[in-house]
Amino acid sequence: MKNRFVIVCVLMALLSACAGMINSKERPLLYEEAVYGDHTALARCVINKLNADPRPLMQLYHYKFRIYPDIDTSQIYAYDTRFLPYIYASNSPENVDAVRDYISMAPEILPDVNNVIEAEYIYGFALTIKNTGNDRSKAAMKGNKYVSGIAWDYLQSCASTKHGH
């Protein structure tokens, strides 16, 4: 009986640890490199491509676009709508009849902020683009490998279009 209790306790600990990893807001850094273009123009281009993406998987995300003018940085979070507190059956992307009333292409401009804001909810990816001067920026992507890869490809496309490749 005592052995069963120990086994149950160990299994519960492992299960809760795994659940914490799945729902954790912090994700690993996947990509980081210098790109051509202004941070705001690149982020706008990426957000436009993301919002136009017809794949059902990509439509599960609510894209939060922020601009930090004081630190020359833009940031896009792809929040998973399955975990957002304000998503209901009437506006869920999983409901084909839903009205998605939380989509906004307009960025949130945050003046007088000296550090980027960390994730508020569980996200698929976080893209941070910081101007480094001379029409160049440094981009960093962390998150889910598949969804981040799609957004990173969009960023590369936006940067190559901007630079003329």
Cα–Cα distance measured from residue 36 to residue 135, given in angstroms and rounded to the nearest whole number: 6
pLDDT at residue 84, as a whole number: 72
pTM score, whole prediction:
0.76
pLDDT at residue 91, as a whole number: 52
pLDDT at residue 81, as a whole number: 81
Tell me the DSSP string of 27-38. Answer: --EEEEEEEES-
pLDDT at residue 20, as a whole number: 41
pLDDT in tens, 60-96: 888 999 999 999 999 999 988 887 776 665 556 666 5
Contacts 24+ apart (CB under 8 A), 140-145: 140/29, 140/31, 140/32, 141/29, 141/30, 141/31, 141/32, 142/27, 142/28, 142/29, 142/30, 143/27, 143/30, 143/78, 144/27, 145/30
| pLDDT beneath 70, residues of the chain | 1-2, 5-26, 86-105, 162-165
